[in-house]
A = this chain, B = another copy of it.
Amino acid sequence: MNAIEGWLADYAPQALDTLKAFCRIESVSTDPAFKTGIEDASRFVATQLRDAGFPLVDIVETGGHPAVLAEWCAAPGAPTVLIYGHYDVQPPDPIDKWTSPAFEPTIRNDRLYARGVSDDKGPLLIPIIVAKAFHSLHGKLPLNLKVIIEGEEESGSPHLSPTVARLKDRLACDLVVSADGAMWRADLPSVTVASRGLIALEVVLTGAAKDLHSGRHGGSAPNPIRALTQMLATLHDAEGNVTVPGFSDAVTPPDPLILAAIQSANFDAAAYFDSIGAPHPDPLPSGAELLTRQWLIPTLEFNGISGGYAGSGTKTVIPASASVKITCRLVAGQDPEAVKSAIVRHLRSVLPTGYAMQSLDRGPGSAAFALNPNLPALAIAESVLSELLGAQPLRVAMGATIPIGDVFKTHLGAEMLFFSFSTSDEDYHAPNEFLRLSNFRLGMVAWARLIERLAKA
């Protein structure tokens, strides 16, 4: 144990007190009733950063909830790392499902229970405390460190991209390390190296100018539900594979280590269908196939469909229009705009005569996140985790979308590494959110080693 790790071990009780104090602040970003909590949390983070030795700490306006920026750039010639995190939390609802109050941090079985403790107050506090260790022992850091902690992650980070764009000179760096994110499973050390992108669109089909009587007009008038269902049926084959021409053309092969992780993960297909309460398909796909579909295959999912009468009973109407909401999860290589165009072009190619089709963009879309598998920083992170966890961490992907990776890549040209010590089973959008305190302590050692080794890279 070196001096920094010894200092962190001695400081553990105070670190826990700081985390508890942070968790008592009700910093729910989506609900204006928690405005005071947001302000308190941003000031709390700024105070911790100043205490940790950062000479420059700002609470900056974003147009929404403020972000906290810090810079400690006193290591000429050494790399510059930008740390990302968020101080806002999910709403505590449903409140009556909590065993102990959501904003009264409580320890049970070496777990700290509180809203936001795992997502993302615990994980973001770790590198700040590590900086404080360097400051206390050496009065300086071995590299240049910048920090951006936003307050709107749980609201979809609406102001993050413009803020990073505006402050791109201040945020310039060689690497972004996200303290947000999660280990995949408690029993499997992992590092997230890819996530899927997202596009959203809506397609509206119109026939007649108004709803028509299905007796009088049935058979002769256009029925947009019939046309739309026939068009949508051409988007997948019977196995659910997307069949839109051009949809997957630009897909680049995934990191072979992700494929290896899928094979070694022992994902249980039957348990998966049981967990979502769905009948088992026959034949049952393998767990590896399901994981491949969740992590590495782009999707085209229908999120909503509507048209005509949706009330109880029956109404003999031929509706004037019908519409469908579509989102796609993209993988590395796919361009969001190109994929959107391919879908719209294909739907127009199968549009029957006698109908008008309108396609509506629902958001700008975001590309998939895929870390360069040969990035030296990734190897460093893996070696740190490997020596601390006793096993080489799996390189995992996630099916969901992490827009921040795209934000930093676009505006700063920097790769982003996930280095988080929460675990995806810690109920972070649900009642009884918790953080394993063993990981809180482990994370401090890991971040200290990461910073030391990145400094020498």
Chain A residues with a Cβ under 8 A of chain B: 196, 198, 200, 202, 207-210, 212-223, 225-226, 228-230, 232-233, 236, 238, 240, 272-273, 276-282, 290-291, 293-294, 297, 299, 301-310, 313-319, 322, 324-325, 327, 329, 352-356, 362-363, 398-401
What is the CA–CA distance of A322 and B356 in the complex, to the nearest angstrom? 24
| Extra A-B contacts (4), CB below 8 Å, given A220-B272, A229-B233, A316-B327 | A208-B278, A212-B276, A217-B399, A223-B301
Inter-subunit contact B198/A294 (CB<8 Å): no
CB distance from A218 to the nearest CB of B (A): 4
A313: chain B residues within 8 A (beta carbon): 362
With beta carbons under 8 angstroms apart, the residue of B218, B221, B229, B299 that contacts A276 is B221
16 contacts between A and B (CB under 8 A): A198-B316, A209-B276, A214-B327, A218-B299, A219-B294, A219-B301, A220-B293, A221-B276, A225-B232, A225-B305, A278-B354, A279-B353, A303-B309, A304-B315, A306-B306, A314-B362
Are B314 and A303 closer than 8 Å at their CB atoms?
Answer: yes
What CA separation (Å) do A455 and B225 show in the bound complex? Answer: 52
A198 to chain B minimum Cβ distance, whole angstroms, is 7
Chain B residues, Cβ within 8 Å of A310: 304, 306, 310
Q: How far is the CA of A329 from the CA of B277 in the complex (A)?
A: 37
| Residues of B close to A238: CB separation below 8 A | 230, 352
Q: Which residues of B contact A218 (CB under 8 A)?
A: 196, 294, 299, 301, 327, 329, 399
Q: Which of B198, B307, B314, B324 contacts A202 (CB 8 A)?
A: B314
Contact A301 B318, beta carbon cutoff 8 Å = yes
Across chains A and B, which 3 residue pairs bring their CB atoms closest together, nearest first? A209-B277, A215-B400, A233-B233
A232-B229, A276-B221 are known contacts. Are A308 and B325 too (CB-CB below 8 A)? Answer: yes
Chain B residues contacting A290 (CB-CB under 8 Å) are 220
Assess whether A208 is in contact with B276, with CB atoms less than 8 Å apart.
yes
How many copies the complex holds: the figure is 2
B210, A277: Cβ atoms closer than 8 Å: yes
Residue contact B325 to A309, C-beta cutoff 8 Å: yes
Question: A219, B299: Cβ atoms under 8 Å?
Answer: yes
Q: Which residues of B contact A277 (CB under 8 A)?
A: 208-210
Give chain B nearest CB distance to A166 CB in angstroms: 26
Once bound together, how far apart are the Cα atoms of A84 and B313, in whole Å?
A: 28
Whether B216 contacts A400 by the Cβ 8 Å rule is: yes
Question: Chain B contacts of A210 at CB under 8 A?
Answer: 276-277
B residues less than 8 Å from A398 (CB atoms): 215-216
Q: Which residue of the partner chain, among B219, B301, B315, B329, contacts A303 with CB atoms under 8 Å?
A: B315
Give chain B nearest CB distance to A57 CB in angstroms: 34
- Given the complex of chains A and B, what is the CA–CA distance between A212 and B240 in angstroms? 17
CB distance from A320 to the nearest CB of B (A): 8
* Bound CA–CA A158/B170 (angstroms): 75
Our pick among B308, B309, B314 for the contact of A363 (Cβ within 8 Å) is B314
Q: Which residues of B contact A317 (CB under 8 A)?
A: 303-304
A117 to chain B, nearest CB (A): 21
Expressed in whole angstroms, the minimum distance between the Cβ of A346 and any Cβ of chain B is 15
Residues of B within 8 A of A352 (CB): 238, 281
